[in-house]
Amino acid sequence: MTLFRIFSVCLCISLLLPASGCSGKPDGYHYSIAERKQAVPGLSLTMTLVQRFEKKHWCEANAARMSKEGFRTACRYEEGSVYEPMFRGEPAGKWYVHQSIGRFSPSLLIYESTPSLPDDVMIRQLEQTAPHILKFAALHRAPAQVRIFSPEKEIPRGL
């Protein structure tokens, strides 16, 4: 599915914000939420990119950039967000990728499909995003980490 690759490239572009870091506040972040749906015969796929920011204007700038890339976007301020377990790297009942590149705040790529895809298919699709993220990090000589989670647990990767 090429939409996975497009989504990875858009994420890399969004990470170019010069001031997208977080100081480690426990809650009260602005969440940039960008969603794209794709329908193929017999399958509906929804991909959501979630990034958190300390400042509202950083969040709004990121949401505007993602909107130009064809995503439906929102910027929300939430304390104790439903996304926090995912930002901590915990299973959250959904398939998602937790990624961090250098000094940038971690990002979440949440994947949902109707009907549900078999686990091996979903893992294969999610693993296709990791090389794009790692290449982006290498270009900027930044350390990167990509972790894949099923609804119940972290999936060990062989990359």
Name residue, tokens 């977080």: 22
115 occurs within a structural domain: yes
Q: Give the end-to-end CA distance of the chain in Å, rounded to a whole number.
A: 19
State phi, psi for 121 to the nearest 5 degrees: -70, -45
Q: What span, in angstroms and rounded, lies between the C-alpha atoms of 132 and 35? A: 19
33 occurs within a structural domain: no
Print pLDDT tens along the chain (159 aa).
554 555 554 454 454 443 344 444 445 789 999 999 988 888 898 999 999 998 999 999 999 999 999 999 999 997 778 899 999 999 999 999 998 888 888 899 999 999 988 999 888 888 887 777 777 777 777 788 888 999 999 998 754
60 occurs within a structural domain: no
User: What's the domain range around 94?
Assistant: 2-13+40-53+82-153
The 8-class DSSP code of residue 156 comes to P
77 occurs within a structural domain: no
103 occurs within a structural domain: yes
119 occurs within a structural domain: yes
7 occurs within a structural domain: yes
Domain count, the chain: 1
Q: Which long-range contacts (CB under 8 A, 24 or more apart) does 135-142 make?
A: 136/12, 136/15, 136/101, 137/101, 137/102, 140/101, 140/102, 142/101, 142/102, 142/103, 142/104
21 occurs within a structural domain: no
Enter the pTM of the model: 0.76
pLDDT at residue 104, rounded to an integer: 80
